Amino acid sequence: MLDFVKFLGTAGGRTVVFRQLRHSGGIWIRLNNINIMVDPGPGSLIRIYENNLEPKDIDIFVISHRHLDHVADINSVLEAATESTKNKKDLLIAPEDAIDGDDPVILKYLKKGIKKFVYTKENIEVDYKGVKVKSHIKHIHRGAEVYGLSFETENKKIVYVPCGKFYEKMLTGYPENADLMIINTTFVKPKPNVDHMSAEGVKQLLKALKPKKAVITHYSVDMLKANPKAVAKNIEEETGIPVIAAEDRMKIKI
Ligand SMILES: [Zn+2]
Ligand SMILES: [Zn+2]
């Protein structure tokens, strides 16, 4: 089967997530026949079925960080994927504070459903049946440990820039020339007191890292009002790199 990225949700800002103005099911990546469930936020289990996917097919779980918009459904999806831990899954990758911190996000009995936990730090690499999951630069994002992520095979490279505000070191802290770069672009303009990326930061990232194609997602109300498609077009015009505004249920073949 072909490789793809499926957006089970495009919500990001608190109001957009918790009023469900957009779905918040995370991102399902299929690479080299390996299914990777990334950031199963509120409603993820429903969105998986709604998109004709099957939790039991998940091979790897990846959590970018512990905030609820990225993990609210991790327990439900784990229960479904492992059939109540009977069929254990090989791997879950997440920052340590999400799994072993003061307020862990996975229920104890469900942890038994995972054979191996790998904690993301800067420059960690895990090879799973030919798919390399790598973590990159540490993000600035209040209340949670967050690292950049990429998913790579011999000939494909998907980069995921999770939540966090733009800072200079990101320009060298991520792989260049990705086939697809997914960027959590919450705002149109930067907000100094909120640790989220804006379209202005995305422009700098794209100019420096030159992916073949980029996707913006994880929208706030402001972004929805500005129309993500118009924002994507503006970024594209300024950078010369094709930019897609993600929609709920959008599937991108890679
Ligand atoms: Zn967050
Ligand atoms: Zn978020």
Output the CA 218–ligand 2 centroid distance in Å. 7
Whether 33 shows a pLDDT value over 70: the answer reads yes
- Of 158, 183, 210, 177, the C-alpha closest to 3 is 158
Structure token digits, residue 36: 């990777």
| Residue 86 alpha carbon to ligand 2 centre in Å | 31
- What integer pLDDT is reported at residue 109 of this predicted model? 96
The whole-chain average pLDDT of the chain stands at 97
Cα–Cα distance between 92 and 90 in angstroms, integer? 7
pLDDT at residue 96 greater than cutoff 70:
yes
Q: Give the Å distance between the CA of 61 and the centre of ligand 2.
A: 17
152, 175, 99: which is closest to 91 by C-alpha?
99
Distance 163 CA to ligand 2 centre (A): 5
Q: Which residues surround ligand 1, an ion (CB under 5 A)?
A: 67, 163
Cα 239 from Cα 205, distance rounded (Å): 10
- Ligand number nearest CA of 161 is 2
Residue 38's pLDDT band, with cuts at 50, 70 and 90, is very high
Asked whether residue 186 carries a pLDDT value surpassing 70, the answer given is yes
- Identify the nearest ligand to the CA of 143 by its number: 1
Buried b (16+ CB within 10 A) or exposed e, 130-160: ebebbbbbbbebeebbbbbbbbbbeeebbbb
How far apart are the CA of 253 and the centre of ligand 2, in A? 24
> CA-CA distance, 17 to 24, in Å (whole number)?
6
> Is the confidence at residue 162, as pLDDT, over 70?
yes
Confidence of residue 22 (pLDDT cuts 50, 70, 90): very high
The closest ligand to the CA of 160 turns out to be: 2
Please give the distance, rounded to the nearest whole angstrom, from the Cα atom of residue 20 to the centre of ligand 1.
16
Centroid of ligand 1 to alpha carbon of 163 (angstroms)? 5
Kindly give, in sequence order, each residue whose CB lies less than 8 Å from that of residue 182, ignoring residues fewer than 6 positions away.
Answer: 5, 27, 158, 159, 160, 161, 214, 215, 217, 246
What is the structure's pLDDT at 1?
62
pLDDT digits (tens, 9 = 90+) for 49-88: 999 999 999 999 999 999 999 999 999 999 999 999 999 9
| pLDDT one-digit tens code per residue, 226-237 | 999 999 999 999
pLDDT-above-70 percentage for the chain:
100
Q: Each residue of 115-148: pLDDT tens digit?
A: 999 999 999 999 999 999 999 999 999 999 999 9
User: CA 112, 114, 119: angle at the middle one, nearest 5?
Assistant: 115
For 215, what's the count of Cα atoms within 13 Å in the CB-facing half-sphere? 25
Closest ligand by atom to 41 CA: 2
- Domain 4-253 homologous superfamily, CATH: Ribonuclease Z/Hydroxyacylglutathione hydrolase-like (3.60.15.10)
- Cα(3) to ligand 2 centroid in Å equals 25
Helix (H, G, I), strand (E, B) or coil at 123: coil
Dihedral-angle region of residue 151 (phi above 0 means left; psi in -120 to 50 means alpha; beta otherwise): beta
Residue 180 CA to ligand 1 center (angstroms) comes to 22
List, in order, residues 6 or more apart from 147 with CB less than 8 Å away.
Answer: 64, 95, 120, 121, 122, 124, 135, 136, 137, 138, 139, 162
| Rounded distance from Cα 155 to ligand 1 centre (Å) | 31
What are phi and psi for residue 163, nearest 5 degrees? -65, 150
Tell me which ligand sits closest to the C-alpha of residue 142: 1
